[in-house]
């Protein structure tokens, strides 16, 4: 039976869209880099680093990688299944819905609407939209599986199935929130549990958004472009299942030496180490598929991009397990080393896989030869050099920071007690990084130009491709035993046990779902059920209404992008910052704000360290109080007024989550907040600060900062004052 | 093994344990033109995978299931103890500072210059570069908030004023730097820099 497959099928999700997303994203990154070098660049509150960085990460993941992944899935699935998508309407809803979500992110994140959790910043209405669009995508995809003409599923499709199922689970469970307004919500989890859920999500966003779909992409486009058989079917089976099962456990390696229970962090580490070979299984299957085709790599830009992408995949998946080893993580965590690691993955693996795919698709979709091989080659080399500069400079910066933070002199004093000294030291590395990033974007722009010129030379009318598709005989009533052999040629070879599952997509999908859910529950249930994991500390009380409001400003401004709130149990950290953080201190933190990066110092023990006037001057002009600081100024906190009317809703939402607020706070939170603001304003004036500023946002933020990390030390002080009177 | 493979040198990179070309057995299936071999897994791949799994078991036993590994907090306690011993043994920690020593130091222009450097780096953020005061009090007037003597100044820098937000610099600065910066601050008093912060504390005589 002949079936006409429209060549336009794969055009449903715009490849150019992905390219534009990377361009937009690089611009955001360029502004971010500039922020670090020239803090005075902040022209408006909307473009501070704390608000742009989430836009950058969301754009890379959801706009660039997302659109690239969808293009690969729509194009390759229809060909691998020999079937048109289940519904063109759903395809269109998916495409336009997803682009609208990206626009919504680009608007709301600079406005400061954020849930304050990395890569899950988008507020609840957008999260609902993502859920709907994802379900549309899933229905469309599984519907196509159901009407396939190819009985067995090729390995690329296994990875797509894992992606669709797991991303849905991750997205839903990490974004469970209680709304406190149209664009404001509080995570239902607090402190340790919230951190755990967030990094279960965060790490598996890397796994199932940035890895599995791109492995699927590789399994389709690489053998196509190389015109060589895939190296090993049994390796595909083994590395697919081990990857899906092991990846889910690895999240807690983002939380080593934090207040997370040590057993959870150990699981994160050992499963990350076990993940090394399953990841490399993908790399081997990619690179060894090129046996006998290496001469093509020298000429074909598609294969060039793929080879470097897979090499970066191999490097990142070695670096990841290494960084997850606790003693390495002690040095690398909070530094630029992590930033180097993710950019090797994002620019090298994801970026180059997408570029390779685009160079393969564009001449085929537009039925015109690629405009210029030479430009494609230029794109490849410029961007490759860009990545190398980018990654190497950040390795150097990260290791420099890590070593400077922990350096003691021989008398036991911190060698660099002033944090600013460590951030000034790495500024030259930021310039190299900026050069690397600029090269990468230059290469991308060349690529966009090449795609545009190819598109411009397309024929007026596309030729329709005729494709031979198999007859789905296996859907018909079972043939007589004598015919069976002829209809199922693979039966000639001894059938592989896995082969059966490949013909049963629903069973296969359920097994993938089980692997993911079972692995998750092993970690999640104990974290939530065992009381010992978060020992209560009696002295830790809920935030007062003004402090809660100030905390919301902290979240809105994205302070967690540069400041951690987690003093690790290391001598250099306790000497620099104060007592290490305890799990019980975070029980009212919806969401947690431990951070993952120290562009500025940790501030968990900031409360009471400096007076109000210092903070006042610091927010007005960080360089006035900390020479060389890279923190932006926050002039709008001094002009914008506290919205007293909002406070009651926030307190009520927190109370709904089980925060034990007093009756007074529940009856009149704004009144309590006003009283505290007046008190702080009076203290500020007494310290030589301005007068009459009790209604400014900065007062609420100061109230929060002065509270941070003080509950347990105040208990210690109280015990000292009245020995035995606990 | 195809001729292209041999020509491109792929064969040269093979090791003895690499799959025999006979293993390059094509599977019967074909997906949109994509075929698959069913080569065995590389030996080193299997080996490292097994070692990683064994490591997981060993690590779990060592640190969590009765092995001798110390918990993170026990490790911290041990290291903190070591650090305290280093601090106690540091020879320069036993330097004695008194009024006479500080007075002598203010006459030592090299020491005062060193003190200015320490001041600019650590103190200017609150007291401004010329000491007229901003977050912290004016150091150039004829007033002092805590005590009156040079030693009182040194003591204030050493222990800080936590209630007012002044850090305790004793644990941060080495004693020589602490003394030098105290000497520099001593030289500021009475210089009455224009535009200084309003005086705080009680009136004192300028040092001579």
For every residue of A226-262, DSSP letters joined together read HT--BSBHHHHHHHHHHHHHHHGGGGGGGGTTSSS-H
Q: Parse chain B into domains and list their residue ranges.
A: 92-203
Q: Which residues of B touch A230 (CB under 8 A)?
A: 34-37
Domain presence at residue A557: yes
Q: Which residues of B touch A226 (CB under 8 A)?
A: none
Question: What is the mean pLDDT of each successive set of 10 residues along chain A, which is 726 residues long?
Answer: 34 44 55 53 75 94 96 96 95 97 96 95 96 98 94 95 96 94 93 94 94 97 95 94 94 95 94 96 95 90 96 97 96 96 96 97 95 96 97 97 94 90 93 96 97 96 84 66 48 66 91 92 85 83 96 96 97 94 94 96 92 91 87 93 94 94 93 96 88 94 96 68 43
- Count how many pairs of residues, chain A against chain B, have C-beta atoms within 8 Å: 183
Which pLDDT does position A499 carry in this prediction? Answer: 87
Domain presence at residue A536: no
Write the pLDDT tens digit of every residue in B147-182. 888 888 898 998 888 777 788 888 788 888 888 999
Q: End of a domain among A433, A467, A501?
A: A467
Other C-beta atoms closer than 10 Å to the C-beta of A153 total: 23
- Out of B5, B49, B164, name the one closest to residue A292 (CB): B5
- Listed as own residue / partner, the contacts of B33-37 with beta carbons closer than 8 Å and 24 or more positions apart are B33/A224, B34/A154, B34/A220, B34/A223, B34/A224, B34/A229, B34/A230, B35/A223, B35/A229, B35/A230, B36/A229, B36/A230, B36/A232, B36/A233, B36/A236, B37/A229, B37/A230, B37/A231, B37/A232, B37/A233
**Which is more confidently placed, B5 or A618?**
A618
Q: Which residues of A touch B91 (CB under 8 A)?
A: 411
A256 and A126 belong to one structural domain: yes
Domain at A616, CATH number = 1.10.760.10
Q: What is the 3-state secondary structure (H, E, C) of A392-413?
A: HHHHHHHHHHHHHHHCECCCCC
Do residues A122 and A184 touch, judged by C-beta distance below 8 A?
A: no
Which pLDDT does position A25 carry in this prediction? Answer: 56
User: How far apart are the C-alpha atoms of B190 and B143, rounded to whole Å?
Assistant: 9
Is the Cβ pair B86, A263 closer than 8 Å? no
Q: What is the secondary structure of B143-195 as a DSSP string?
A: EESS-SSHHHHHHHHHH-BGGGTB---TTTS-HHHHHHHHHHHHHHTT---TT
Do residues A343 and A391 touch, judged by C-beta distance below 8 A?
A: yes
**A 559-578 residues with CB < 8 A to B:** 569-571, 574-575
- Out of B9, B83, B134, name the one closest to residue A412 (CB): B83
Q: Which residues of A touch B39 (CB under 8 A)?
A: 231-232, 234-235, 288
Is the Cβ pair A274, B56 closer than 8 Å? yes
Which pLDDT does position B15 carry in this prediction? Answer: 41
Do residues B153 and B144 touch, judged by C-beta distance below 8 A?
A: yes
Which pLDDT does position A24 carry in this prediction? Answer: 54
Domain presence at residue A447: yes
Selected residue of A235, A238, A276, A572 to mutate for chain B interface (largest B Cβ count, 10 A): A235
Range of the domain at A689: 545-721
Which pLDDT does position B10 carry in this prediction? Answer: 41
**Searching chain B, which residue's CA lies closest to the CA of residue A297?**
B8
Burial class (CB in 10 A: 0-12, 13-18, 19+), A172: middle
A574 and A426 belong to one structural domain: no
Q: What is the 3-state secondary structure (H, E, C) of A565-597?
A: CCCCCCHHHHHHCCCCCCHHHHCCCCCCCCCCE
pTM for the complete prediction? 0.88
Q: End of a domain among A424, A439, A467?
A: A467
Is the Cβ pair B28, A257 closer than 8 Å? no
Domain count, chain A: 2
A452 and A568 belong to one structural domain: no
Q: Which residues of A touch B51 (CB under 8 A)?
A: none
Domain presence at residue A380: yes
**A 477-506 residues with CB < 8 A to B:** 489-490, 492-493
Q: Which residues contact A513 (CB under 8 A, 6 or more apart)?
A: A165, A169
User: How far apart are the C-alpha atoms of A568 and A585, rounded to whole Å?
Assistant: 14
A46 and A154 belong to one structural domain: yes
Which pLDDT does position A9 carry in this prediction? Answer: 38
Domain presence at residue A607: yes
Domain at A335, CATH number = 1.20.210.10
Domain presence at residue A477: no
| pLDDT at residue B145 is higher than 90 | no
A197 and A62 belong to one structural domain: yes
Domain presence at residue A484: no
In which region does residue B173 sit, left (phi positive, over 0), alpha (psi from -120 to 50) or beta (all else)?
beta
Percent of chain B residues past pLDDT 70, beyond the cut: 87
Q: Phi and psi at residue A207, in whole multiples of 5°? A: -70, -50
Which pLDDT does position A3 carry in this prediction? Answer: 33
Given the structure tokens 């991009």, which residue do they identify?
A305
Is the Cβ pair B55, A273 closer than 8 Å? yes
Q: Which residues of A touch B44 (CB under 8 A)?
A: none
Q: End of a domain among A450, A467, A484?
A: A467
Crossing angle for the helix pair A155-174 and A66-81, nearest 10 degrees?
140
Do residues A627 and A420 touch, judged by C-beta distance below 8 A?
A: yes
CB-based contact (8 Å) between A270 and chain B?
A: yes
Is the Cβ pair B79, A414 closer than 8 Å? no
Domain presence at residue A505: no
Q: Which residues of B touch A474 (CB under 8 A)?
A: none
Is the Cβ pair B135, A611 closer than 8 Å? yes
Which pLDDT does position A481 carry in this prediction? Answer: 53
A331 and A188 belong to one structural domain: yes
- Strand A184-187 vs strand A177-181: parallel, antiparallel, or unpaired? antiparallel
Report the gap between the CA of A490 and the closest CA in chain B (Å): 6
Classify the C-alpha dihedral B98-B103-B107-B109 as positive or negative.
Answer: positive
- The CATH-assigned architecture of domain B92-203 is Orthogonal Bundle (1.10)
Report the gap between the CA of A52 and the closest CA in chain B (Å): 28
Q: Which residues of A touch B62 (CB under 8 A)?
A: none
Which pLDDT does position B30 carry in this prediction? Answer: 86
DSSP-derived 3-state class of residue A636: helix
Report the gap between the CA of A62 and the closest CA in chain B (Å): 29
Classify the C-alpha dihedral B167-B172-B178-B184 as positive or negative.
Answer: negative
Query: Cα angle at B168 between B167 and B173, to 5 degrees?
Result: 110
Q: Which residues contact A444 (CB under 8 A, 6 or more apart)?
A: A19, A22, A23, A26, A355, A379, A383
Q: Phi and psi at residue A186, in whole multiples of 5°? A: -120, 135
Average pLDDT, chain B: 83
């Amino acid at each position: 039976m002949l079936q006409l497959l429209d060549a336009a099928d794969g055009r449903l999700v715009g490849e150019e869209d992905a390219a534009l997303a990377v361009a937009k994203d690089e611009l955001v990154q360029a502004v971010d880099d500039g922020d670090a070098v020239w803090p005075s660049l902040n022209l408006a509150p909307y473009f501070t680093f704390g608000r742009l960085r989430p836009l950058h990460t969301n754009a890379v993941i959801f706009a660039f990688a997302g659109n690239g992944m969808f293009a690969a899935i729509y194009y390759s699935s229809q060909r691998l299944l020999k079937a048109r998508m289940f519904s063109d309407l759903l395809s269109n809803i998916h495409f336009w819905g997803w682009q609208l979500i990206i626009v919504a992110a680009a608007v709301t994140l600079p406005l400061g609407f954020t849930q304050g959790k990395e890569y899950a910043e988008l507020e609840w209405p957008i999260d609902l939209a993502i859920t709907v669009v994802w379900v549309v995508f899933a229905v469309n995809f599984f519907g196509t599986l159901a009407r396939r003409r190819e009985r067995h599923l090729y390995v690329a499709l296994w990875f797509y199935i894992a992606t669709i199922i797991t991303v849905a689970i991750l997205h839903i469970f990490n974004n469970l929130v209680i709304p406190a307004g149209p664009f404001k919500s509080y995570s239902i989890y607090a402190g340790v549990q919230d951190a755990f859920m967030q990094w279960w999500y965060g790490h598996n966003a890397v796994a199932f958004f940035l890895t599995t779909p791109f492995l699927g992409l590789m399994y389709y486009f690489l053998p196509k472009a190389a015109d060589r058989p895939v190296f090993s079917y049994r390796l595909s089976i083994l590395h697919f299942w081990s990857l899906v099962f092991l990846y889910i456990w690895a999240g807690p390696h983002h939380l080593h030496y934090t207040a997370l229970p040590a057993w959870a962090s150990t699981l994160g580490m050992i499963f990350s180490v076990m993940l090394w070979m399953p990841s490399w299984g993908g790399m081997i299957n990619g690179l060894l598929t090129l046996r006998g085709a290496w001469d093509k790599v020298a000429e074909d830009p598609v294969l060039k991009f793929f080879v470097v992408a897979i090499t970066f995949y191999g490097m990142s998946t070695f670096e990841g397990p290494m960084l997850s080893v606790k003693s390495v993580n002690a040095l690398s965590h909070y530094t630029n080393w992590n930033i180097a690691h993710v950019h090797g993955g994002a620019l090298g693996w994801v970026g180059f896989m997408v570029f390779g795919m685009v160079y393969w698709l564009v001449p085929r979709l537009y039925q015109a030869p690629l405009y210029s091989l030479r430009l494609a080659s230029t794109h490849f080399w410029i961007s490759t050099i860009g990545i190398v500069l980018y990654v190497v400079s950040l390795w150097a910066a990260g290791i420099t920071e890590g070593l400077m933070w922990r350096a003691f002199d021989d008398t036991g004093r911190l060698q660099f007690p002033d944090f600013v000294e460590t951030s000034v030291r790495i500024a030259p590395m930021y310039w190299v990084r900026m050069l690397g990033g600029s090269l990468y974007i230059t290469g991308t722009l060349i690529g966009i130009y090449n795609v545009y010129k190819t598109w411009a030379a397309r024929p007026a009318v596309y030729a329709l491709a005729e494709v031979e598709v198999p007859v789905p005989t296996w859907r018909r009533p079972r043939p007589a035993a004598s015919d069976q052999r002829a209809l199922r040629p693979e039966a000639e070879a001894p059938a592989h046990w896995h082969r059966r599952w490949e013909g049963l997509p629903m069973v296969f999908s359920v097994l993938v779902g089980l692997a993911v859910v079972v692995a998750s529950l092993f970690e999640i249930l104990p974290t939530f059920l065992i009381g010992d994991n978060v020992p209560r500390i009696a002295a830790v009380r809920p935030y007062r209404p003004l402090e809660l409001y100030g905390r919301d400003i902290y979240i809105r401004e994205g302070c967690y992008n540069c400041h951690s709130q987690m003093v690790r149990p290391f001598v250099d950290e306790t000497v620099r910052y104060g007592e290490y953080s305890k799990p019980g201190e975070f029980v009212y933190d919806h969401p947690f704000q431990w951070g993952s990066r120290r562009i500025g110092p940790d501030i968990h023990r900031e409360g009471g360290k400096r007076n109000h006037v210092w903070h006042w001057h610091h927010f007005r002009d960080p360089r006035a109080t900390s020479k060389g600081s890279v923190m932006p100024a926050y002039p709008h906190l001094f002009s914008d007024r506290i919205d007293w009317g909002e406070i009651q809703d926030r307190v009520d939402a927190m109370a709904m989550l089980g925060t034990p607020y007093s009756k007074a706070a529940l009856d009149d939170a704004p009144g309590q907040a006003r009283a505290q603001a007046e008190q702080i304003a009076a203290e500020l004036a007494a310290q030589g600060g301005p007068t009459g500023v009790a209604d400014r946002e900065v007062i609420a933020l100061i109230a929060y900062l002065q509270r941070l990390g003080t509950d347990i030390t105040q208990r210690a002080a109280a015990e000292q004052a009245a020995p035995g009177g606990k | 093994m195809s001729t292209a493979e041999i020509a491109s040198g792929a064969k040269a990179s093979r090791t003895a344990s690499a799959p025999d070309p006979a293993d390059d057995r094509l599977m019967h299936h074909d997906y949109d033109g994509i075929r698959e071999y069913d080569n065995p897994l590389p030996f080193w791949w299997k080996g490292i995978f097994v070692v990683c799994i064994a490591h997981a078991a060993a690590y779990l036993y060592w640190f969590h299931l009765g092995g001798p590994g110390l918990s993170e907090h026990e490790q911290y306690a041990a290291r903190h103890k070591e650090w305290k011993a280093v601090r106690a043994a540091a020879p320069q920690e036993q330097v004695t500072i008194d009024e006479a020593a500080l007075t002598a130091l203010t006459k030592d222009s090299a020491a005062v210059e060193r003190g200015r450097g320490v001041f600019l780096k650590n103190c200017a953020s609150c007291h401004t570069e010329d000491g007229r005061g901003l977050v912290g009090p004016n150091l150039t007037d004829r007033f002092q908030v805590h005590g009156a003597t040079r030693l009182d100044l040194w003591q204030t820098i050493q222990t800080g004023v936590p209630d007012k937000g002044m850090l305790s610099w004793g644990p941060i600065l080495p004693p020589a730097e602490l003394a030098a910066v105290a000497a520099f601050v001593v030289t500021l008093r009475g210089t009455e820099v224009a535009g200084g912060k309003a005086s705080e504390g009680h009136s004192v005589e300028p040092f001579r």
